[in-house]
A and B are shown apart, each in its own frame.
Chain A
Amino acid sequence: MDPAEERECIQKAASGDHRAFRQLVETHRALTYSIAFRMTRNVAESEDVVQEAFVRVWKNLRRYDAGFRFRTWIAKIVTNLCLDYLKSPRNRKEGGLELAENIAEPGQVYSGIEISELRLAVVRLAELLTPKQKAVFVLRDLEMMEPEEVCKVLDMPAGNMKSNLFHARKKIKEGLEKWYQKDTLWTAGNVKR
């Protein structure tokens, strides 16, 4: 959807047009779900977060600030809901239950790395990050957002964002080095699709 079309949709939806809002949902549901799933690692919870985020968007469309990109605005709502979920006692009790258990044990040596296996390892290691580090890592490295957009989504100064990103990347790297043999891990071309 081009920006002009999106603006028109937002205006129509703000005046109560359900069809226009459906278009907005269809455009942004993939991004919102991807952020939610990468943050919560739980299908049902991700769907609930996305649903809640769109309901909030619908209720507050009249307050939407056109100076913000709509994508940034909705990413901000989803991320905040995910951070609330990650900080909730409910998540602390259930956290990680849905994570696959067949990940390599520390010290196990692999000659080559499957991409699915690597994804699982990164996901598992991301669970060890603080909620803010995880949010910065997901938005910047996995959702490939620009640094300025990440700062806007998280309401975070650039210095703070960079500090969180540094710690997140370092923890992931050190974690991967524990799971895999160092020489194998960092040799180009060892990751197979």
Chain B
Amino acid sequence: MDCRKCEEMMYLYAELTAADRAEIYGHLANCQSCSAIFAEIRALNAMVSMIAEDKSMPPSMSNLTHRVMEDIASVQPSFTLWSMLWENKLAFSMAAVSLMLVVTFAQEVLMEDYHVPHKKSLTGARLSVSEFKSLATRQKARVFSWSGCRTPLASAQAVKDCMKSHFKQN
């Protein structure tokens, strides 16, 4: 280690690792000028520590607090979409799961008799014109039956049974 590097490290003595400190001591054992600088730096650190103990305080602590409290009286903590989502994460997760279940259930009900051959991938699937027409007609019938079966007081099961009976008739 040269003197320049050693000087830089001596100024940062408090921030060094044990290995770096050992390196410094190794250099100081053979260098008088660096040893003298090191003693000065340690004296400087001691002086600065003494200064650090004397903390500056505001003329009136309570007055400062009062000013802050007066300032915030008319302001509300800001409300962000992210903070709202984060704070209500449990509620939002439950809602998302419920929504997913409802969508899955609705899909099951609507797609019950809708047999599209799944042997091929969806992009590779090709329907003949007659197959397409037949599926489209059945879908149309399903939509009609759905609207016919829906009454305000009917339960989900009743609606489902009603739709099934329509399909059987068709």
Q: Which A residues fall within an 8 A CB radius of B?
A: 13-16, 18, 21-22, 25-26, 29-30, 33-34, 37-38, 43, 46-47, 50-51, 54-55, 58-63, 115, 118-119, 122, 141-144, 147, 162, 165-166, 169-170, 172-173, 176, 185-188, 191, 193
Contacts and interface: CB of A to CB of B under 8 A. Distances in A.
Given A115-B51, A173-B41, A60 B78 contact: yes
Contacts, number: 124
Contacts of B65: 22, 25-26, 29
A153 B73 CA distance: 28
Chain B interface, >50% SS class = helix
Contacts of B50: 115, 118, 191, 193
B1 interface: no
B47 A46 contact: no
B8 interface: yes
Interface residues of B, number: 40
A55 B15 CA distance: 34
B142 to A, nearest CB: 48
Given A58-B75, A166-B11, A169-B11, A34 B48 contact: no
Interface in B20-63: 39-41, 43-52, 54-59, 61
Contacts of A54: 68, 71-72
B157 interface: no
Contacts of B51: 115, 118-119, 122, 142
12 contacts: A30-B61, A43-B58, A47-B67, A50-B58, A54-B71, A55-B68, A59-B75, A115-B50, A142-B52, A169-B11, A169-B41, A185-B43
Contacts of B77: 13-16, 58-62
B83 interface: yes
B64 interface: yes
Given A55-B75, A59-B77, A173-B40, A50 B56 contact: no
Given A18-B73, A30-B55, A43-B58, A50 B68 contact: yes
A33 B64 contact: yes
Chain A interface, >50% SS class = helix
A165 B72 contact: no
B76 A16 contact: yes
A25 B65 CA distance: 7
Contacts of A141: 45, 48-49, 52
A33 B25 CA distance: 39
B116 interface: no
Given A46-B56, A50-B58, 8 more contacts: A22-B65, A22-B69, A25-B68, A30-B57, A46-B58, A47-B58, A47-B64, A62-B83
A23 to B, nearest CB: 10
Contact of A188 (B8, B43, B52, B71): B43
A43 B59 contact: yes
Contacts of A191: 47, 50
Contacts of B52: 141-144
A150 to B, nearest CB: 10
Interface string B62-98: 0011011101110111111001000100000000000
